[in-house]
Amino acid sequence: MRKVQSLADLQSLRDEFRAEFCPADVKKVQVKIAMATCGIAAGAKQVMNHMVEKSKELGLDIDFTQAGCMGYCYAEPTLEVSVPGRESVVFGYVDETRADEILTKYIQNNELVEGIIPVNYETTD
Amino acid sequence: MATYNKHILVCGGSCCTSGNSAQIADNFKSTLAEKNLSNDVQVIQTGCFGLCDQGPVVKIMPDNTIYTHVKPNDVRRIVEEHIEGGKKVEDLLYVNPITGERVEDNKEPNKFHKKQIRIALRNCGVIDPENIKDYIAHDGYMALAKCLTEYTPEQVIEVVSASGLSGRGGAGFPTGKKWASSARAKADQKYVVCNADEGDPGAFMDRSILEGDPNSVLEAMAICGYAIGADKGLIYIRAEYPLAIERLKIAISQAEEMGLLGDNIMNSGFNFHIELRYGAGAFVCGEATALIHSMEGKRGEPTFKPPRTSEKGYNLKPTNVNNVETYANVPIIITKGAEWFSSIGTANSKGTKVFALAGKVNNVGLIEVPMGTTLREIIYEIGGGIKDNKKFKAVQTGGPSGGCLTERHLDIPIDYKSLTQAGSMMGSGGMVIMDESSCMVSIAKFYLDFTVPESCGKCTPCRIGNKRLYEMLDKITKGNGTMEDLEHLRNLSVVIKDTALCGLGQSSPNPILSTLDNFWDEYVEHVQDKKCRAGACKDLVQYEINPAVCVGCTACSRNCPVEAIKGELKKPHQIDNSICIKCGTCITKCKFNAIRIK
């Protein structure tokens, strides 16, 4: 990675990374998994590995990201699914079975599955 | 196969469920079936929407519509008018509490009033904490760049002061004032220290920030270094946070690689290096002077202030010590401005506070609310109410240094001042909710049990005084207390508060004083009636099987670890209280609620 030279340089890097990490027009399905210590302890890592494998099997092209705490301790492991053209949905209590349902039912067929957590906070951007 | 084009989300949180949301979901399903729409519209129950005062709540996707106060007989209207007719049902639409308008389209999430605002946690759960590019994509290091190119160090401190940010570690000292004092100090070397020694039982705010967004803390420390004239930063973190440590290390090396930490940052001539220092997990090391001694390789013991660490800190050089959450607020204050930040919160406490909401609430979690939010909003809306529909009894804030507040404190807008006035404190953000099954004397004993071994032993009031407090509480919970003990308990608490050397000792009697004030009757019951109304003090309760309810299934006797339960199959059983250890196994095993605590 090259060194940032100035404020303007940082701004252009930001725009470049924005296109990569949070584009205005999302084309690919994104799955973010809450992976703080507590999420991992509740099984988030296994769920993510499982989903990566399973999505390959199903021929789904998905971006998986490990993120930090989403705050829903009561429902770990939790993950957020963003499908282009749909409002993103947070699912809680995700085990391998539910992960499969999320892939085959929700992502492939737009059928919601149990465990939806309505986001009850706003985030400052 | 069904190809849904609409989804009806019915809140299945406990408040909405008690408002008959299951019936609402059923009605939707049957009405849709009747109209042959079952393959187009899916009905599903979700978790809590956090709009408990307006439940039952129904959301229609993808139309961005939220309906509130929905009754089972509203379902037909919603299906016919909205789903079939494409016209939203005006009188059920969610009302924005600020504008008073019914919100037809919740596309803009900010139009939709939410109890929580994530500022310190803004990137947690959003970005990949192990990839600095993701942080930069979310305006990361822009605040540092702005400071280095547009602000003088004095101006940075002015912005932080004007924002009203204060120490999130618990005491609430104004951050700008602290920075100014370190900036004023003259020395050849100064330090910026991040206190990540989160030690309150049940608190995990700082860990979550470090694990979810480590770069925001690094950026803030560099900003602080620029403001006070320090080129070295140290993060004091407990070794029992391995993931936070790993992610901090990754973040530091990526930031160095990109020239966002290190020498001559962004060609400004400003140098800033950050290193980690590990703590062994002693509670007292969260106290600034003890923390610094521990970093120096000495015993983690506090020393008398003044001199403050901002004048003589690490290696006797001026050192600015702030906690993780405090730092996490800094970059966004710089980018969005002091005015924006100070517009959130109350007259004397600005911004938000992160709490680890735990205990007997339905939705335990990490929450961030504006200062001035009431305990009632936190417990009943964000927390989704008390578990198992039990009765609320108390809320403990501030960990071992805080106190227990009651029903009558539920509507106080919480900030540093109001919590202290009520006899508790903000603390670092642990918030434990208790219901009627919690014994307040035992709670006080629990916190003292924590404090006694955590006392460093340097000063007598804390080392010996807390031990004596614990012994008295132990005596009371065993049914041997006297009214004189209660008097001694209060007197000794006050003496320790007045005479202990550091914050740990000065605040350790708070759990006792607040419960004496708010739950005096319970103490008296323990002493005079030898009774524990919560049934938590084992020496004061007896277990009893109700012969009218017991069916003699033997589940209790088979699971009793001490064989205290006898009885024939299909006949009521009996408990021998001289053997019973009151472990509660029989109560959890009994399917008929036949076992009572007397």
Dihedral sign from CA coordinates of B137, B138, B139, B140: negative
Would residue B49 count as lying in a domain? yes
B146, B101: one domain: no
> Chain B, 565-594: which have a CB under 8 Å from a chain A CB?
none
> Chain B, 348-387: which have a CB under 8 Å from a chain A CB?
358, 362-368, 382
Mean of pLDDT values over A54-60 = 95
Q: What is the pLDDT of residues B271-323, one digit of tens each?
A: 999 999 999 989 999 999 999 999 999 999 999 888 999 999 999 999 999 99
Residue in B closest to A106 by C-alpha: B4
Cβ A10–B145 below 8 Å, yes or no? Answer: yes
Would residue A6 count as lying in a domain? no
Residue in B closest to A87 by C-alpha: B62
B287, B228: one domain: yes
pTM of the predicted structure, to 2 decimals: 0.90
Residue B432 falls in which region: left (phi positive, over 0), alpha (psi -120 to 50) or beta: beta
Whether residue B111 has pLDDT greater than 60: no
Whether B589 and B533 have beta carbons less than 8 Å apart is answered as no
Please report residues of B whose CB lies closer than 8 A to that of A108.
none
Task: Please report the pLDDT score of residue A124 as a whole number.
Answer: 81
Hey, is the C-beta of B38 within 8 angstroms of any chain A C-beta? no
Cα torsion B256, B260, B263, B267 to 10°: value is 140
Tell me how many residue pairs between chain A and chain B have CB atoms under 8 A apart. Answer: 198
Whether residue A87 has pLDDT greater than 90: no
Would residue A16 count as lying in a domain? no
Whole-complex ipTM: 0.93
Whether residue B241 has pLDDT greater than 80: yes
Task: List phi, psi (to 5°) of B342.
Answer: -75, -10
Whether residue B18 has pLDDT greater than 80: yes
Whether B433 and B410 have beta carbons less than 8 Å apart is answered as no
Cβ B62–A86 below 8 Å, yes or no? Answer: yes
> Chain A, 27-66: which have a CB under 8 Å from a chain B CB?
32, 34, 36-38, 40, 65-66
> Chain B, 224-243: which have a CB under 8 Å from a chain A CB?
241, 243
Cβ B211–A68 below 8 Å, yes or no? Answer: yes
Whether residue B442 has pLDDT greater than 50: yes
Cβ B266–A6 below 8 Å, yes or no? Answer: yes
Mean of pLDDT values over B7-22 = 88
Please report residues of B whose CB lies closer than 8 A to that of A65.
128, 134
Task: Please report the pLDDT score of residue B196 as a whole number.
Answer: 96
Number of domains in chain A: 1
Pairing between strand B191-196 and B319-323?
parallel
B574, B517: one domain: no
In three-state form (DSSP H/G/I as H, E/B as E, the rest C), the secondary structure along B533-566 is: CCCCCHHHCCEEECCCCCCCCCHHHHHCCCCCEE
Find how far residue B388's CA is from the centre of its chain.
21
Domain, as residue range, for B587: 542-597
Q: What is the pLDDT of residues A34-56, one digit of tens each?
A: 999 999 999 999 999 999 999 99
Of A3, A109, A124, which has the smallest distance from its Cβ to B118's Cβ?
A124
Cα torsion B438, B444, B450, B451 to 10°: value is 160
B264 by Cβ neighbours in 10 Å (0-12 / 13-18 / 19+) ranks as exposed
Residue in A closest to B360 by C-alpha: A74
B207 by Cβ neighbours in 10 Å (0-12 / 13-18 / 19+) ranks as buried
B155, B28: one domain: no
Hey, is the C-beta of A5 within 8 angstroms of any chain B C-beta? yes
Query: B562: domain CATH number?
Result: 3.30.70.20
Cβ A4–B11 below 8 Å, yes or no? Answer: no
Cβ B126–A123 below 8 Å, yes or no? Answer: yes
The lowest-confidence range among B15-24, B349-358, B390-399, B542-551 is B15-24
Of A13, A17, A69, which has the smallest distance from its Cβ to B212's Cβ?
A69
Average pLDDT for chain B: 92
Mean of pLDDT values over B549-555 = 93
Please report residues of B whose CB lies closer than 8 A to that of A114.
44-45
Domain end marker among B277, B307, B338:
B338
Reported confidence tier of residue B170, pLDDT bands at 50, 70, 90: confident
Cβ B9–A66 below 8 Å, yes or no? Answer: no
Q: Could you tell me which residue, A32 or A2, shows the higher pLDDT? A: A32
What is the C-alpha R_g of chain B?
A: 28
B162, B291: one domain: yes
B318, B418: one domain: no
Query: B105: domain CATH number?
Result: 3.40.30.10
Tell me how far apart the alpha carbons of residues B43 and B9 are, in angstroms, rounded to a whole number: 6
On the CB side of B302, CA atoms within 13 Å amount to 24
Hey, is the C-beta of B257 within 8 angstroms of any chain A C-beta? yes
Would residue A70 count as lying in a domain? yes
> Chain A, 88-117: which have a CB under 8 Å from a chain B CB?
92, 109-117
Would residue B583 count as lying in a domain? yes
Reported confidence tier of residue B108, pLDDT bands at 50, 70, 90: low
Whether residue B327 has pLDDT greater than 70: yes
The whole-angstrom distance between A20's CA and the closest CA on chain B is 8
Cβ A1–B254 below 8 Å, yes or no? Answer: yes
B195 closest CA partner among B165, B153, B238, B142: B238
Q: What is the pLDDT of residues B365-416, one digit of tens each?
A: 999 999 999 999 999 888 888 988 889 999 999 888 899 999 999 999 999 9
Domain, as residue range, for A55: 26-117
Number of domains in chain B: 5
Hey, is the C-beta of A87 within 8 angstroms of any chain B C-beta? yes
Task: Please report the pLDDT score of residue B110 as a whole number.
Answer: 44
Please report residues of B whose CB lies closer than 8 A to that of A87.
61-62, 64
Would residue A9 count as lying in a domain? no
Query: A36: domain CATH number?
Result: 3.40.30.10
Would residue B117 count as lying in a domain? no
Residue in A closest to B387 by C-alpha: A74
The whole-angstrom distance between A76's CA and the closest CA on chain B is 10
Cβ A124–B59 below 8 Å, yes or no? Answer: no
- For chain B, what percent of residues have pLDDT higher than 70? 98
Tell me how far apart the terminal alpha carbons of chain B are, to the nearest angstrom: 57
Tell me how far apart the alpha carbons of residues B53 and B57 are, in angstroms, rounded to a whole number: 10
Reported confidence tier of residue B262, pLDDT bands at 50, 70, 90: very high
Task: Please report the pLDDT score of residue B208 as a whole number.
Answer: 95
B192, B333: one domain: yes
Query: B497: domain CATH number?
Result: 1.20.1440.230
B200, B228: one domain: yes
Q: Roughly what angle, to the nearest 10 degrees, separates helices B242-257 and B205-212? A: 40
Cβ A36–B134 below 8 Å, yes or no? Answer: no
Of B134, B260, B365, which has the smallest distance from its Cβ to A74's Cβ?
B365
Hey, is the C-beta of B471 within 8 angstroms of any chain A C-beta? no
Would residue A2 count as lying in a domain? no
Cβ A122–B118 below 8 Å, yes or no? Answer: yes
For testing contact with chain A, the best of B15, B40, B48, B107 (most A CBs within 10 A): B48
Residue in B closest to A19 by C-alpha: B137
B166, B267: one domain: yes
Please state, in angstroms and as integers, the Cα–Cα distance from residue B80 to each residue in B23, B28, B74, B152, following that order. Answer: 18, 11, 10, 63
Residue in B closest to A6 by C-alpha: B266
* DSSP 3-state of B279: strand
Query: B194: domain CATH number?
Result: 3.40.50.11540
Whether B310 and B185 have beta carbons less than 8 Å apart is answered as yes
Domain end marker among B529, B550, B585:
B529
Tell me how far apart the alpha carbons of residues B259 and B276 are, in angstroms, rounded to a whole number: 19
Residue in A closest to B39 by C-alpha: A111
Domain end marker among B54, B81, B111:
B111
The whole-angstrom distance between B116's CA and the closest CA on chain A is 5
B419, B491: one domain: no
Cβ B1–A109 below 8 Å, yes or no? Answer: yes
Please report residues of B whose CB lies closer than 8 A to that of A4.
141, 145, 258-260, 266
Cβ B145–A1 below 8 Å, yes or no? Answer: no
Mean of pLDDT values over B237-250 = 95
B431, B356: one domain: yes
The whole-angstrom distance between A100's CA and the closest CA on chain B is 18
Residue in A closest to B144 by C-alpha: A7
Tell me how far apart the alpha carbons of residues B418 and B414 are, in angstroms, rounded to a whole number: 6
Would residue A8 count as lying in a domain? no
Query: B402: domain CATH number?
Result: 3.10.20.600
Please report residues of B whose CB lies closer than 8 A to that of A110.
3-5
Would residue A18 count as lying in a domain? no
B187, B77: one domain: no
Residue in A closest to B7 by C-alpha: A112
